[in-house]
Amino acid sequence: MLYAVLCYNDENAVATWTKEEDDACMARLAQVENGMKAKGKLGPVARLLPTTSATTLRKTSGEPLIIDGPFAETKEQFLGFFVADCETLDEAIAFAKDLAKANPGGGAYEIRPLALYHPSEMD
Amino acid sequence: MVDNAWIAAALTAARPQALSALLRYFRDLDRAEEAFQEASLRAIRSWPDKGSPRDTIAWLIFVGRNCGVDAVRKTRRNVALPGEDRLSDLDDAEVDIAERLDGAHYRDDILRLLFMCCHPQLQLNQQIALALRIVAGIPLSRIARVFLVSDAAMEQRITRAKAAIAQHRVPFDPPDANERLGRLGAVALMLYLVFNEGYSRGHSEPAAAELCDEAIRLARLLLRLFPTEPEIMGLLALMLLQHGRHAARTDANGELVLLEDQQRSRWDGVMLAEGRALVDKALRHGAPGTYQVQAAIAAQHARAPSAAETDWAAIDRLYQSLEAIHPSPVVTLNRAVAVAKSQGPAAALALIAPLADKLDGYFYFHGVCGGLLLQLGDIAGARLAFNRAIALAGSPAEAAHIRLHLDRLAMPDGTPGLLARN
């Protein structure tokens, strides 16, 4: 069984960490990751850039709406994610629009650049 | 982030919101600061055992408000303070207050606090010091170190600045849309000046470089409050794209390294990625402003894998739109550098020739002229321009840089230098 572990915290507070504090935290997390990696059980790991860099595509009955900022609704739940290598935000939005067409109805896609990405280490 | 460092980080992060809400409540900066200080002390005492509250900002505002009110009562009637238990047991109250505090209130509160710091009556140095002390909560001694003055001198500077803003009150009524936009513009400029103070001195003074981090933090806060303002996206992007090159801006001897000579592997990829994403986001609005266009220029450099692969034609076009938004001889001069790269030195010289009168006292103008003349093979003209530049240099580093080019001119093979490398 594959599990995703999603990380939540106050990004305001995390942004006030010094470089040393941030590096130290990442190093401690890497140690934990390494334990899983050694067993061939670690999938992809990603850290997202702050929500201020996010754009949200909101599905509508017609052309989807593009909104500045992160996904902020509480009545919808986090269901899945994609990682894509895009040269520009427009390219990422085009990808999300295609996803929306393939998966019509309600909901939204939040488009957020990554700060860090390690591909899967799973066997 | 072991021990209680997380509390310190949470308090620093909560400070602008909590302090500005307390300011609205008490309408007195000193009292608001004392109340926040007292609430922070109580957080340090109670959070390690009880864990942090769900909404740290609401907790700090609530406790700060109680402490502040108690302080007023105490001075008025000399009544004993209530017990610690009464203030620490906030679980229910906290949920209640968190629901009542909405984002819109926060937004005008924080904007007001920042706007107070950039009052036109204050000198630039005072504005920066005040913003760092009050909004960012940086200890006085650290600010003194940044400005290379004694603690006492910095304390005096801040006290004077506070007295000045106390006399020119910023109204507490919610601003109308126009007033809000005006405040936002003034605050954005002040944050950019904080950033520039760090950027221009940071390569030689590590303490000053911290200003860049603080300015970025405050710009991110501002963008969170105004998430759809393209110019605020542009401002944050510009800071990230410039500061992301910080480590590569100096060589082993502490000398400045020109953009085209920088080791791009030393650039901070994460910071540049965030900056580029924000530029893309801002430009989608189709409402370009000076921060956005400057950021877009910086993003062009950030995306080029090497100096030789820079898209100078795109940079030239961006400078043209900057000239359209904000005509200035300095912008044209910068554009000339892009033109020299994309169309050659003769076209660039023709572009800046009409600026000679306006920019005659500007170091950089003569430096660029010298570089272009050198490229065209006019050694005598280049020497003249470089000598003029040295005479106008604002710092020993600037002068040393030009001298290097003069020294090269003296050599038989005259290696081309400043802005002239292909």
Please provide the distance, in angstroms rounded to a whole number, between the alpha carbons at the two ends of chain B: 47
A113: nearest CB among B217, B273, B284: B273
The least confident of A90-99, B72-81, B260-269, B367-376 is B72-81
Query: Inter-chain contact B13–A89, Cβ cutoff 8 Å?
Result: no
- 3 state DSSP class of A49: coil
pLDDT of residue B410: 65
Residue B321 has pLDDT above 50, yes or no: yes
Contact in structure between B112 and B20 (CB atoms under 8 Å): yes
Residue A99 has pLDDT above 90, yes or no: yes
Q: By 3-state DSSP, what share of chain B in percent is helix, strand and coil, each rounded to 5?
A: 75, 0, 25
pLDDT band at B150 (very low <50, low <70, confident <90, very high): very high
B287–chain A nearest CA distance, Å: 14
pLDDT of residue B411: 58
The least confident of A13-22, A24-33, A38-47 is A13-22
For residues B211 and B100, which has the higher predicted lDDT (pLDDT)? B211
User: Region A18-26: what's the mean pLDDT?
Assistant: 90
Domains and CATH numbers, chain B: 5-101 (1.10.1740), 102-227 (no CATH), 229-310 (no CATH)
pLDDT of residue B74: 66
User: Which class is A11-118 in CATH?
Assistant: alpha beta
Phi–psi pair at B149, nearest 5 degrees: -125, 170
Chain B interface includes A94 (CB < 8 A):
no
User: Region A28-42: what's the mean pLDDT?
Assistant: 95
pLDDT of residue B269: 95
B236 interaction partners in chain A (CB closer than 8 Å): 52
**Mean pLDDT for chain B overall:** 85
User: Region B398-405: what's the mean pLDDT?
Assistant: 79
User: Region B1-20: what's the mean pLDDT?
Assistant: 82
Q: State ipTM.
A: 0.90
User: Region B222-245: what's the mean pLDDT?
Assistant: 95
Residue B394 has pLDDT above 80, yes or no: no
Residue B299 has pLDDT above 80, yes or no: yes
Residue B110 has pLDDT above 50, yes or no: yes
pLDDT band at B98 (very low <50, low <70, confident <90, very high): very low
Mutate to test the interface with B, among A53, A55, A97, A114 (most CBs of B within 10 A): A53
pLDDT of residue B38: 95
Q: How many residues does chain B have?
A: 422
User: Region B274-284: what's the mean pLDDT?
Assistant: 96
pLDDT band at B258 (very low <50, low <70, confident <90, very high): confident
Contact in structure between B94 and B125 (CB atoms under 8 Å): no
Residue B152 has pLDDT above 70, yes or no: yes
Q: What is the chain B residue with the closest CA to A14? A: B9
Residue B414 has pLDDT above 50, yes or no: no
pLDDT of residue B136: 87
B246 Rama class: left (phi>0) / alpha (psi -120 to 50) / beta: alpha
**How many degrees, rounded to 5, is the angle at CA B393 between CA B388 and CA B394?**
155
Mutate to test the interface with A, among B1, B138, B232 (most CBs of A within 10 A): B1
